[in-house]
Amino acid sequence: MRCGAVFEELAVEVVTELPGGARREVLDLIERVLLTPRAWPDVRDAGAIEEIREAFGARCWIQYMPHDGAIAVREIGWAG
């Protein structure tokens, strides 16, 4: 857990493989999401029970689920 963020296994693998500057950009995005987790778009499929949202940075994105003041980071993408 990092500042209210729980990382799923695949997200951990991706973030650990990123170079330092890329990792910092992803972690900065996560910190912004933690401030207002429901401000980002809900992308769940119709009929889905879990709330799934996506947030975008300059060269990265995350897919996450908000949970009572925390988030579960499901996926991390890097386009840099």
pLDDT per position as a tens digit, 18-56: 999 999 999 999 999 999 999 999 999 999 999 999 999
Distant-in-sequence, close-in-space partners of 69: CB < 8 Å, separation ≥ 6: 4
Measured CA to CA, the distance from residue 80 to residue 77 in angstroms comes to 9
Number of structural domains (the chain) is 1
Bridge partner residues of 61 (DSSP)? 56, 77
State the CATH number of the domain containing residue 25.
Answer: 3.30.2310.20
Taking the model in full, what pTM does it have? 0.89
- Quote the pLDDT of residue 2: 45
| Residue 3 confidence class, pLDDT cut points 50, 70, 90 | low
Task: Count other C-beta atoms under 10 Å from residue 25's C-beta.
Answer: 17
**Type of residue at 75:** E
Range of the domain at 67: 5-78
- For residue 68, is pLDDT > 90? no
Name the residue among 52, 58, 4, 51 with its Cα closest to residue 30. Answer: 4
